[in-house]
Amino acid sequence: MSNVLEYTPVDDIPSIVTSLHKSFRANPNRSLEYRLNQLRNLYYAIKDNEELLVRVLKKDLNRPEGDTQLLEITPLYIEILTTINNLSKWMKPTSAKNVDLLYYFTSPKIAKIPLGTVLIIGPFNFPYLTTLAPLVGSIAAGNTTVFKQSEQIPYTSQTLGTILTDALDPKIFQIVQGGIEETTVLLNQKFDKIIYTGSGKVGRIIASKAAETLTPTILELGGKSPAFVTPSVQPKDLKTVCKRIAFTRFANAGQICVSTDYCIVHDSLYDEFVDMMKLVIKELYDVDETNSTKLVNKNAWDRVMNIIRNTKSDVVLGGDGDREARFIQPTLLTNVSFDDASMKEEIFGPVLPVIKYSDLQHSIDNVLDIADTPLALYIYSKSSKEIETISSQIRSGALVVNDGVIHGGLACVPFGGVGESGYGSYHGKWSFDAFSHERAVLKNPFWTDILFESKYPPITKMDLKLNL
């Protein structure tokens, strides 16, 4: 147990969840104005405590203040404001389309109703955006919410928990703090939906537990997201390509679920790409333990360093670190093969393997063999044919051409995985939809019974024809 983070007593957890179930049943249709007020409270709670939130995350992970602003706080504001500005429209029932003439007078509609009580289990690496964006959707949809943050960032979780508890109505929102024991007790409770962001190993545990009570889940699980660099890339654009890839790999010390996990570069560009990437890393990420984001704990440091130590590739930049400081130098690996130690699992650290290819199809097949459904697929190319060849064969949560990661902060597109990288999506309207149930609503006047006589027995062949 952390000396900073106040864990929730495990005996209190069932009653916390029960209280939110009771609260929802007592008021299952909270008004638009109530939901908007809660979202405004959330917005100003973050706004008023912005500097504090940036500071405590730096204390936990040493993340530079500007990175937190860019990667989390600004996208979060956009998320909340987009929801506030559109919630009235999202909540309105919509009329069904292509209604059969026989059912025209039933006025079929689709209504969005709350699911009930939602559990959000957030990660350490993006504790504001990836936990609060789902919370925005849950509140907007009219649910009650249990909020479980990562115990690995104690200062951040304690501070954010206090801020949210003060800002939001306890009838719809409760915090549970803790580690494995507290999370296990939480998962023994009944929820109406669970969203989890983290590793595939834990995601499988949560999905299995949720299946016992037929609880739907959203799982955001990451994976080995590749970046292809094809021969159509022009030499004049190579520095831009390298800058964009370096950002997606080394920001937050590589601890981003949609980071570029490895590059696949055509042999005609390979040497120039490696030379340029070394220059870009030195220019943008010439960091040490004082000004770089830390790995979350020493186990994470050991895992990433073991990848570097066990690689059969060439370590052409970086490769060293400080375990006590949980720091690893931005590391570039070249002459990497698909069976290298760096290709066995998601790296989730500041290490970039670069693979050379000459046969595009062969490389695509290799990608499909090691991780066929990445959370993101990045293609740097000016050839629509190359882009189509790659993207049509590799399923991914997102596809970004000539850039990376940028989709993760947008409220106008869904964010989610496919296959091994997870399922379900959120952000913007997709968050509202994820925590709502689409209920079919029909109202059939009594006078229409003459139109439905054919449904009553005995049913004749003529009755069947009338129903066609």
Sign of CA dihedral 448, 450, 451, 453: positive
How far is 401 from 413, CA to CA, in rounded Å? Answer: 15
Q: What share of the chain is helix, strand, coil (3-state, %, to 5)?
A: 50, 15, 35
**Of 210, 259, 299, 300, whose CA–CA distance to 421 is shortest?**
259
Identify any residues that bridge with 118 across adjacent strands, giving them in sequence order: 145, 193
Q: Is 220 a catalytic residue?
A: yes
Angle, CA of 360, 361 and 364, to the nearest 5° = 90
Catalytic, out of 257, 263, 346, 386: 257
Three-state DSSP class for residue 10: helix
Amino acid identity, position 434: A
Q: Cβ(35)–Cβ(142) under 8 Å? A: yes
Largest CA distance in the chain: 83
Tell me the C-alpha distance between 128 and 122, whole Å.
9
Contact by Cβ (8 Å): 216, 209: no
Q: Which residue has the tokens 């009653």?
A: 15
What single DSSP character describes residue 341?
G
- Least Cα distance to 8 among 175, 146, 151, 135 occurs for 175
Cα–Cα distance measured from residue 226 to residue 233, given in angstroms and rounded to the nearest whole number: 17
Residues in the chain: 468
CB atoms within 10 A of CB 391: 15
Q: How far apart are CA 431 and CA 114, in angstroms?
A: 12
Tokens 């004082």 belong to residue: 290
Residue 453 is which amino acid? E
Query: Which among 151, 220, 346, 386 is annotated as catalytic?
Result: 220
Place of tokens 């590059």: 263
Q: How many helices (H) and strands (E) does the chain have?
A: 16, 20
Measured CA to CA in angstroms, residue 414 lies from 68, 304, 376 at distances of 22, 30, 12
Enzyme catalytic residues:
220, 257
